[in-house]
Amino acid sequence: MKLTLLIISILFVATSASAQESWPQEKPEQRQQTVTNEDGGRSYLVLPATAPLVSLIKPGQEGVGDVKQRTIFLGSGWSDPSLRAREQRLSGLLGRISDGAQFDDSINAPGNHSEAPFTFEKLDITGNRTISDLELQQILTEILKTTPSSNNAVYMVFLDPTLRSSLGSLRSDKHFITYHGFLNLSGRKIHYAVVPFQSDAQAAYQTALRTFIVAALHSDDAPH
């Protein structure tokens, strides 16, 4: 009997270790690509998923839930009533993780679910054009001059349907889907991500969620 229990214990430990080792976690180089932005610094293109979203985080991994989401909608297109429901969904990405079983139940829920989301609309942006990363940084700087800012957050910038994004010579309609980077504001690093518009609402949500998590995972590595 004792021998049987010992064998079962050994098999249980081996199985648990194997499950942890075989967890299909995406490698950092599969998440993002470093590029030089327009002011000579670094930005990070968020690469298309190579595996289910669950592969970004191991069960019990900490870090993402500590990073807050701050949401900014740019462009007059967001005043369209048909996009209002989408705004609400995009403003609370982490708060909706548990709704659709994107992650294993053993992953700790983020700690800021109950916190009122920071959402800002800037509708007075000229549309039907490409907005550069430098211009976007200037817009962010102006917004954050009059609103509370945090260096423990990712500012998710959602473009309306009339705006395309550029990052140096790269264009959102040709070279990338989304990207994230940093700007200096009064000696602090502000982490932001740019998410061009996608017509498919579910695809847009999945893209935004992946972008936020990739950016949040990077935040621990970034200089402050």
Residue 55 is predicted with a pLDDT of 65
0.85 exceeded by the pTM?
no
Q: Is residue 7 in some structural domain? A: no
Half-sphere exposure of 128 (CA within 13 A, CB side): 0
12: in domain: no
CA distances from 54 to 9, 61, 104 (A): 29, 12, 7
Cα 11 from chain centroid (whole Å): 39
Is 133:166 a contact under the CB 8 Å cutoff?
yes
CATH code, 44: 3.40.390
State how many domains the chain has.
Answer: 1
In a domain, residue 32? The reply is yes
Burial (0-12, 13-18, 19+ Cβ within 10 Å), 23: middle
State the pLDDT at residue 219.
Answer: 55
Is 94 inside any structural domain? yes
Give the pLDDT confidence score for residue 13 in this predicted structure: 41
Regions of the chain short of the pLDDT cut 70: 1-24, 53-55, 57-65, 95-117, 219-224
In a domain, 18, yes or no: no
Q: Look at residue 90 and tell me if it is in a domain.
A: yes
SS3 156: strand
The residue range of the domain holding 107 is: 24-219
- Asked if residue 5 belongs to a domain, the reply is no
What's the pLDDT score for residue 27?
A: 83
